[in-house]
Amino acid sequence: MTSKFTRRDESREIASPTGSTLTCKSWLTEAPFRMIQNNLHPDVAENPKSLVVYGGIGRAARNWECYDQILESLKQLEDDETLLVQSGKPVGVFQTHENAPRVLIANSNLVPKWATWEHFNELDRKDLMMYGQMTAGSWIYIGTQGIVQGTYETFAEAGRQHYGAGAETASPDNWKGRWILTAGLGGMGGAQPLAATFAGAVSLNIECQQTSIDFRLRTGYVDMQAKDLDDAYELIKKHTAAGDAVSIALLGNAAEILPEMVKRAKAGEIKPDLVTDQTSAHDLVNGYLPIGWTVEEWKAAQEDPSKFEKVAKDAARSCAIHVEAMLEFQKMGVPATDYGNNIRQVAFDEGIKDAFNFPGFVPAYVRPLFCQGKGPFRWVALSGDPEDIYKTDQKIKELFPENKHVHNWLDMANDRIKFQGLPARICWLGLGERDKAGLAFNEMVKSGELKGPIVIGRDHLDTGSVASPNRETESMQDGSDAVSDWALLNGMLNVAGGATWVSLHHGGGVGMGYSQHSGMVIVADGTDEAAKRLARVLVNDCGSGVMRHADAGYELAIKTAKEYGLKLPMIK
């Protein structure tokens, strides 16, 4: 049995409505109506005509028939009703109440024994499921900007740890004259070159598809493209010697190029100062080009289920070679980190028993932020007017005048990040900050300072919303890496608090069987009722992350919980 529905429609050109005219019955339903369309804007989505937003096959809806019905259902939804969406398919509308979420979403969830790519692909072919990734199927993807700051925070902290000479705070000077080696310029990986530039480094970014390089050049995420590997070395030497912070793209297969770079390094060529990777290795059929395959052959195989096993097998072998090269760099003294695409697990399964000798980025560089409830807070201007984002940027600076790190981030983002689709901003804020920002935005809408409501959300990669033993919850202090109760509690708490839509997903970032996570989105529409919901949700959401880390024994999380008066019965 194969899908009888439409997965690809060449005629579709999707863009969110803008302005103050409602298509739906309230802003609480207009917001998801606009955001699912924004996810599929051609400047936002990787493959919008196939409903694919990012991350291999992360979709906004299961098929075009389901997409159309989601929009129609949102148009008709009343203020005391909730739309249920099962893996991209609208399946029911039920009466709830005005403070309940308007949409509840469950994506890609499988009973653990059946939580494999093989079983998922079978269901996907039968049109019984879709892969929601993290923010693709939960309708809060804002383009590559959504991960830029997290990647920047990672690179900045790596620079402080490895090259900061004991400094307590990160500085671009730590990366001056140094370079980062990585691969992947897709929806997530495309953040790496700009994040490295923000951190002060030169970066070499390997990508197997010229179209992806062209997109990053056009949107300003990549500064230049090398003609070949020899040219790349010359560019790296030139710009590191000058102390520049620039990004360089190189067309090719990382599994072929990294071993060659290891060989040259052993012969005396320059070595990187950090090596990582953000190819879509979590999806071996759709996300990683095997050695010896052309892009055209690879794309054709993705449309032929009889070839899935072959392409996945060859891709897995290639991932193993890629990881072996990263391990070789590590043996030369180069810091190496997994950036959350499960490539180490793939290599381990292929027999590379020391694949986990280099850490993931969260335990290595990010966990202290999670302990403070900090993570990828984001907001979107439903008006479509960029001025609404610039005004909210300024409001963040006014609210937190002492947080120069955030001020610096906002200045860099304003200078270098081009909006994709609806104007949006990412800004890592924590407990005691997100609620202040949300309430301030709501007042700006109420007063008319902003031209329309603000949608507030976050990545599922956040302080308390994900269980992912090879990424966000790797090497937890108490060994609770695989406990997914916390992500489910986070989702239920956001429903109880009155978020506008809430999602529960499986497999985002690292693939089937390796993660569970929840998402939330809440609308600041300028009403007093919204203010009450914002005050609850934006404390509870990141507060549950502090709770999760305090329960695991992290002293910084326990300190944070006590400072903000969280009621944690077992924490004394």
Residues with a catalytic annotation lie at 427
Of 262, 315, 272, give the one whose Cα is nearest residue 292.
315
- Identify the DSSP state of 289: P
Three-class SS state of 455 = strand
**Contact predicate 236/204, CB 8 Å:** yes
For 199-336, list the strands marked E by DSSP: 202-207, 224-225, 247-251, 274-275
Beta bridge mates, 155: none
- Identify the DSSP state of 453: -
At CA 441, angle to CA 488 and CA 192, rounded to 5? 65
Start-to-end CA distance of the chain, whole Å, equals 57
Of 265, 428, 425, give the one whose Cα is nearest residue 332.
265
**Contact predicate 459/191, CB 8 Å:** no
Beta bridge mates, 377: 427, 458
> How many of the other CB atoms lie within 10 Å of CB of 485?
11
* 502: Cα separation from own chain's centroid: 17
Of 496, 515, 494, 498, give the one whose Cα is nearest residue 506.
515
Of 359, 360, 439, give the one whose Cα is nearest residue 392.
439
Tokens of 499: 């978020």
Phi and psi at 180, nearest 5°, equal: -115, 135
Of 461, 428, 429, give the one whose Cα is nearest residue 341.
461
Place of tokens 């610039």: 390
**Contact predicate 44/53, CB 8 Å:** yes
Task: State the Cα–Cα distance between residues 132 and 507, nearest whole angstrom.
Answer: 8
Task: State the Cα–Cα distance between residues 519 and 540, nearest whole angstrom.
Answer: 13
Q: Which residues contact 552 (CB under 8 A, 6 or more apart)?
A: 476, 477, 478, 480
For residue 497, the surrounding DSSP H or E stretch is: helix 485-497
> How many of the other CB atoms lie within 10 Å of CB of 540?
22
